[in-house]
Amino acid sequence: MRIAIANAKGGVAKTTSSIYIASVIVSRGGRAVVYDADPQSSASLWAAAAEQTADPLTFDVLPANQATLRQLAAGADPDEWAIIDAPPQGPTLDMAIKAADFVIVPASDSPMDLQQAWSTLDMARMSTPAALLLVKAEHNTKAFRDTMDALNAMDTPRFDTIVPKAQSYKRSLGTNPHQLGEYRDLVTELQQIAGSRSETMQGNYQPLARPVPFDDVLRQQNKTSKATGEPLVMLSLRIPVSLKTRLKTTAAAHDLPMQQLLRDAIERELDRLDGDDEP
């Protein structure tokens, strides 16, 4: 499975998530490679620092550019997990998203991070299934509660896993991490998404029990409308930023999913036009 970890904003644990996801996969008997496509080369620097110790990383970190990602998109080892630490912007970011089977958009519980994450998520989902991963979260704070309320109000696809703000993640920079924490849960969710496409790890772990199962984002295009029983399809639209902002604000004010509000508006306009056509 090919996973791109992308966000135009820095400081959202993009590289940390790349390293930890690969570490969990290898710890469960799988094979993983991290492709470092970020100009800052943070993943490569992490690997180099770990190499200087007696406990290096257990997977390769390879530099990547558009050509590398184009080759990855053309074909990948089905038994290997490719983790792309994507750049913040530009054609290489576009290529990373196109090469991926799934995009993870990490974001912290701050308004600025959330706005940028929504933008990245919307862009990614035009071509590739994607979901938001909440990181550096500080539970029992107003910022965290407000973030969760906003994500729910906007019906944002996200992982059940929430990675807290913790010193253990900060201290792991440049080391081979062994205390993998919440990233174990995240990889379990990714395995659920990957399904039968990854056979390598099938016999090496048992899925965690969850009171509310993670909604498989890959099946969103085929989910059924409770109201009509009709299948839903994904529709990509380009709308003015002002209209999108108004849509989000109105949805939050009325405690409605943004998708529902948009569907209702389209249906009302179609009904109006159909009425105008009647003699």
User: In this structure, what are the phi and psi dihedrals at residue 64, rounded to the nearest 5 degrees?
Assistant: -140, 145
Residue 148 falls inside a structural domain: yes
168 and 263 co-located in one domain: no
pLDDT of 254: 77
Q: Is residue 145 part of a domain?
A: yes
pLDDT digits (tens, 9 = 90+) for 118-158: 889 988 988 899 999 999 999 989 989 988 888 888 888 89
In a domain, 19, yes or no: yes
**Residue 160: inside a domain:** yes
Asked whether residue 214 falls in the same domain as residue 251, the answer is: no
Both 201 and 84 in one domain: the answer is yes
73 inside domain: yes
- CB proximity list for 249: less than 8 A, separation 6 or greater: none
More confident residue, 256 or 61: 61
The DSSP secondary structure of 144-199, one letter per residue, reads: HHHHHHHHHHTT--EEEEEEEP-HHHHHTTTS-----TTHHHHHHHHHHHHGGG--
Domain holding 190: CATH number?
Answer: 3.40.50.300
Q: Per residue in 157-192, pLDDT tens?
A: 899 999 999 999 999 999 999 999 999 999 999 988
* Count of domains observed in the chain: 2
Closest by CA position to 101, among listed 123, 120, 75, 119: 75
Please tell me whether residues 147 and 251 are part of one structural domain. no
One domain for residues 82 and 167: yes
In whole angstroms, what is the distance from residue 171 CA to residue 278 CA?
Answer: 69
Indicate whether 136 and 182 sit together in one domain: yes
Same domain, 180 and 273: no
Shared domain check, 255 and 132:
no
Q: Which residue has the tokens 């508006």?
A: 265
**Is 12 among the domain residues?**
yes
Does 94 lie in the same domain as 17? yes
Distance CA 88, CA 111 (A): 18
Q: Which residues of 239-273 are buried (b: 16+ CB within 10 A; e: fewer)?
A: eeeeebeebbeebbeeebebeebbeeeeeeeeeee
Residue 205 and residue 79 in one domain: yes
- Rounded CA-CA distance 237/56 in Å is 46
Query: In this structure, are 180 and 211 located in the same domain?
Result: yes
Q: Calculate the average pLDDT of the chain.
A: 82
pLDDT digits (tens, 9 = 90+) for 53-73: 999 999 999 999 999 999 999
- Tell me the whole-structure pTM to 2 decimals: 0.72
In a domain, 235, yes or no: no
Is 231 a domain residue? Answer: no
Same domain for 211 and 247: no
Containing structural domain, residue 270: 241-277
What DSSP assignment string belongs to 209-267? P-SSPPP-GGGGGGPBPTTT-PBP--------HHHHHHHHHHHHHTT--HHHHHHHHHH
State the residue for tokens 């056509």: 277
Q: Tell me the CA distances in angstroms from 56 to 9, 36, 52, 205, 206, one per residue in order.
A: 28, 17, 7, 24, 27
Of 188, 220, 252, the residue at which a domain comes to its end is: 220
